[in-house]
Structure 1
Amino acid sequence: MSIKRYGVEGGVGTGGQKLPFARAVEAGGWLRVSGQTPMTDGEVVEGGIIEQTRLAFDNCLAIMQEAGYGVEDVVHVTAVLTDARYFSSFNKVFAEIFGANPPARICSVQDLVVDCKVEVDVSCYRADRA
């Protein structure tokens, strides 16, 4: 089994800092996407929890697409919210993205090292790539 890393050439975080981790790693049919925040070009995009959740998931989906995975391949999501009051709005966006075939999930409330409202990561699986 080989391991393929996506984005090790240097993702960009807040303030233009080079990130010391891969955007995603693929091995044995699994794709693990690193936590994504509502950032564009290394800067957090302002907005409410709905806009920030959509952008965080859009960032995950873009990495998944680059690796050849789709939303139907997502088996687990980890979500971190900075305020428990965001839970209902987060769930609305989550349901829009995953529809009738939602993945397993954990959602917690914690402080984030980036000044935003949400961070998400996804785990995907494709048997044809195992």
Structure 2
Amino acid sequence: MREVISTPAAPGSPFYSQAVKAGGFVYISGLVGVDVTTGTVAGSTIQEQTRQALTNCESVLARAGGTLDDVLEVGILLVDPDDFAGMNEEYARWFPQNPPARYAAKLGAVLPGVLISVRMTAYVGV
């Protein structure tokens, strides 16, 4: 059974679901570092935007009944590959031990001011 997950605590769009839960798995869409309280990107640095994007993913995951400990895989899309080290600096604070599987690639979409998009797959049980 497919369940759409949505929360006002993270940015959304009519063009995608924030997450979809099926068979205990939660698939979180690529979320950017937009702060929903202001409607703008959470800062100009990769660290600030990484922090906000992970916060947004965590909010959606919580709505689905999970925590960061349930995350199996993280996908990172960067506008500028040179931001990789700065992204890792913040990312390491969120997954300090036994991190999930991860990939990183270049973000193809151009979104004004956006430096990063983060997606996750988690298993929260059935």
TM (normalized to structure 2)?
A: 0.87
Q: Given the alignment, which residue of 17, 29, 32 partners 1:34?
A: 29
1:86–1:3 distance in 2 versus 1, CA, 3 Å: same
Q: Which residue of 2 aligns with 1:125?
A: 123
Q: 1:91 aligns with which of 88, 91, 105?
A: 88
Percent identity, aligned pairs only?
Answer: 30
- Count of equivalent residues: 122
Larger Cα Rg: Structure 1 or Structure 2? Answer: 1
Q: Classify 1:46/1:19 alpha carbon distance in 2 versus 1 (closer, same or farther; 3 Å).
A: farther
Which segment drifts farther, 84-93 or 51-60? 84-93
SS at match of 1:47: coil
| Cross-structure match for 1:63 | 60
In the other structure, the counterpart of 1:5 is 4
SS of 2:29 mapped into structure 1: strand
Instruction: Name the one with the larger helix percent.
Output: 1
Q: TM-score under structure 1 normalisation?
A: 0.84
Does 2:63 align with 1:72? no
* Distance in 2 between residues matched to 1:89 and 1:35, nearest whole Å: 19
CA RMSD in angstroms, aligned pairs only: 2.0
Q: Is the 8 A contact 2:34 2:52 kept in 1?
A: yes
Deviations 1:60-85 (A, max 9, x none): 00000111100000000110011111
Q: Show the counterpart of 2:17.
A: 22
Shift in Å, 1:3: 1.2
Q: Secondary structure at the match of 1:21?
A: coil
User: Which digits, 9 at most, give the CA deviation of each residue in 1:5-32, with x for residues without a partner?
Assistant: 01299x866xxxx422211000011000
